[in-house]
């Protein structure tokens, strides 16, 4: 019995060793498995990269579009609520010591193009809730920026040249061409545009934003014009106001108006 039992154990052990060897992987099989896994990992990495790239591009496009909309809304609110107030003249050689607190200057030499006017106030405003707003077109290499700044308005004795503007906010930037034009309506109903507004007795009726592609010159925002509502009621200063929808000359151009 002991001999038979020993023989059975020996047979079982040999069968177990044979079965263990038959269930294992050879070196060729292991290398093939590693190669397949490497191909799968590479394909997955490429797929994840493409998805992330397209997602980033889509997010950037949405972000740029939202920034443009916010910039237009900001400009409409600022320019639409420009105040009709007087200030001390910066030009000491001028006949009058006071001028309209609104200037539109084109770029000259090292001086960038800008618009400066008095608008509704924010944190640094005076007690009457007014501040001076500056919209400056700044150039750095091939990138153009439209920057908004503000300063306190201390009343008619405030000189624009003595103000220190702060809180810069970049409204627009990119490889684009930015400029402003100022429109006024003549007595015969003609709308006339100019690239400067200085020494005028009245505010411009419209301010046009020109935004063109820096490489092709294509117009990116055709017919983008902001209405200055200083001669209308206070409710008309809001960009989304509907109180001036009927019967107000500031809501639309007169019929038959011509451009020059």
The answer to whether residue 141 scores a pLDDT higher than 70 is yes
Per-chain mean pLDDT for the chain: 76
Burial class (CB in 10 A: 0-12, 13-18, 19+), 75: buried
Q: How many angstroms from the chain centroid is the CA of residue 87?
A: 31
∠ Cα 68 165 172 (to 5°): 15
Q: Is the pTM of this model over 0.85?
A: no
Kindly indicate the confidence band of residue 49, based on its pLDDT and cuts at 50, 70 and 90. low
Residue 79 and residue 226: Cα distance in Å, rounded?
Answer: 7
Say yes or no to pLDDT of 204 above 70: yes
The share of the chain scoring above pLDDT 70, in percent, equals 67
| 98 and 88 Cβ atoms separated by less than 8 Å | yes
Q: Is the model's pLDDT at 219 over the cut of 80?
A: yes
Q: Helix (H, G, I), strand (E, B), or coil: what is residue 208?
A: strand
């Amino acid at each position: 019995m002991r001999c038979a039992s020993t023989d059975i154990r020996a047979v079982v052990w040999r069968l177990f060793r044979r079965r263990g060897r038959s269930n294992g992987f050879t070196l060729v099989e292991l290398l093939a498995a590693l190669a397949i896994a490497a191909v799968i990992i590479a394909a997955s990495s490429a797929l994840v990269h493409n998805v992330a790239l397209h997602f980033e591009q889509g997010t950037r496009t949405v972000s740029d579009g939202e920034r443009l909309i916010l910039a237009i809304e900001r400009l409409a609110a600022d320019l639409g609520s420009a105040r009709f107030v007087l200030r001390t003249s910066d030009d000491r050689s001028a006949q009058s010591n006071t001028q309209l607190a609104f200037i539109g200057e084109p770029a000259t030499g090292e001086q960038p193009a800008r618009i400066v006017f008095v608008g509704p106030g924010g944190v640094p405003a005076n007690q009457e809730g007014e501040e001076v707003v500056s919209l400056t077109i700044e150039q750095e290499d091939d990138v153009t920026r439209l920057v908004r700044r503000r300063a306190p308005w201390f009343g008619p004795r405030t000189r624009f040249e003595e103000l220190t503007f702060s809180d810069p906010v970049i409204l627009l930037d990119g490889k684009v061409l930015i400029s402003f034009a100022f429109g006024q309506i003549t007595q015969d109903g003609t709308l006339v545009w100019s690239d400067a507004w200085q020494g005028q007795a009245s505010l411009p009726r419209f301010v046009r934003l020109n935004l063109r592609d820096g490489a092709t010159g294509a117009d990116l925002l055709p017919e983008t014009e902001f209405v200055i509502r200083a001669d209308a009621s206070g409710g008309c200063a809001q960009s989304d106001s509907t109180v001036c929808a009927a019967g107000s000359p500031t809501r639309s151009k007169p019929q038959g108006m011509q451009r020059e």
